[in-house]
Amino acid sequence: MEHIDTIRALRARLAPLRAGGARVALVPTMGALHAGHLSLVKEARQRAEAVVVSIFVNPTQFDDPSDLAKYPRTLDADLAACRDAGVDFVFCPTAQEMYPDGADTSVTVGALAEPLCGATRPGHFRGVATVVAKLLGAVAPQVAVFGEKDFQQLAVIRRMARDLLLDVEIVGAPTVREPDGLALSSRNARLDPEARGQALALVRALDAAEARVAAGERDATALLGEVRAELSRAPRAVVDYAELRDPDTLEPAPARLEAPTLLALAVFLRPAAGGPDPGVRLIDNRVLPLQTQTRGDES
């Protein structure tokens, strides 16, 4: 495994591999790697001969400077994890490398970036789309792998790649969870034991909604009422959003659900001591598997 800090050096190392016909896969990360990230590496390895993991805490996607400052940085452990996972190249650029003096171009994706995290984190997806476009430009992979836990991010990146005619396959990999169901996230490390327990309210809310749909519930208001009731059982949880959306367009779901529907959640787990800190923000989602009724099934 090679640890590389500059775009020039990375391109120089990838060039002979490409010339020999090797496919290159990119797994973009912000570090603090966990089993979820390593599942993306495994997916990338199945699709390419050379795997590049980028580790870069991108400042332009943080709307809150304190959130950027608190984001975990564990480079030594990350490099060891990448080595154990068989990564070929770890690309760890500086902010100066990614945003050189005078850089004045950003990428904005339209409607897909506006709801959910886009509505509550101004500029977030502009920062995401811009840095991913830069990473794709630097690495020029044939495939790039992202986690489905960040459902909206994956949708935004797919749209960006399509709209900008980028010659790369964007692959979504399933969410990896702890044994108790909590989605793996680098932010989980910031949860104290009580908050960690209350974070399971997200999983219970998703499970409750799926159970209601399986039992025949189709009323969107009733489903969201069940979801919010479950989240309210966690005293330190503050709901950022709980919404039902079309999984392809991210447009609001109809009042009566008629097709598979995305349930997207974002919750802050407040500090035990209170104060102005909003706490640790966690997201999760599930596509509720509604089955459309066929004419032959009608009674």
13-66: pLDDT as tens digits: 999 999 999 999 999 999 999 999 999 999 999 999 999 999 999 999 998 899
Residue type, 84: D
Specify whether 37 is catalytic: yes
Confidence grade of residue 292 (pLDDT, cut at 50, 70, 90):
low
Query: Which distant-in-sequence residues (6+ apart) come within 8 Å of 80 by Cβ?
Result: none
Q: What's the CATH architecture for 186-297? A: 2-Layer Sandwich (3.30)
Question: Is pLDDT at 78 greater than 90 in this prediction?
Answer: yes
Catalytic residue, chosen from 3, 34, 37, 124, is 37
In this prediction, residue 296 carries a pLDDT of: 43
Indicate whether 87 pLDDT > 50. Answer: yes
Query: Three-state SS across 38-102?
Result: HHHHHHHHHHCCEEEEEECCCHHHCCCHHHHHHCCCCHHHHHHHHHHCCCCEEECCCHHHHCCCC
Does the pTM of the predicted model rise above 0.85?
yes
Q: What residue spans define the domains of the chain?
A: 2-173, 186-297
Q: Which CATH number fits domain 2-173: 1.20.1250.20, 3.10.580.10, 3.30.1380.20, 3.40.50.620?
A: 3.40.50.620
Cα dihedral 254, 256, 262, 263 sign? positive
Tens digit of pLDDT for each residue in 207-216?
999 999 999 9
Mean pLDDT score of the chain: 95
Q: What is the pLDDT of residue 295?
A: 39
- Predicted confidence (pLDDT) per residue in 159-175, tens digit: 999 999 999 999 999 99
Per-residue pLDDT averaged across 264-292, rounded?
A: 91
Instruction: Grade residue 290 by pLDDT with cuts at 50, 70 and 90.
Output: confident
* Distance, CA of 95 to CA of 2 (rounded, Å): 20
Burial of 273 (0-12, 13-18, 19+ CB in 10 A): exposed
For residue 190, the surrounding DSSP H or E stretch is none
pLDDT class of 273 with cuts at 50, 70, 90: confident
Please give the share of the chain, as a percent, with pLDDT higher than 70: 97
Q: What is the pLDDT of residue 137?
A: 98
Residue 183 is given by DSSP the state B
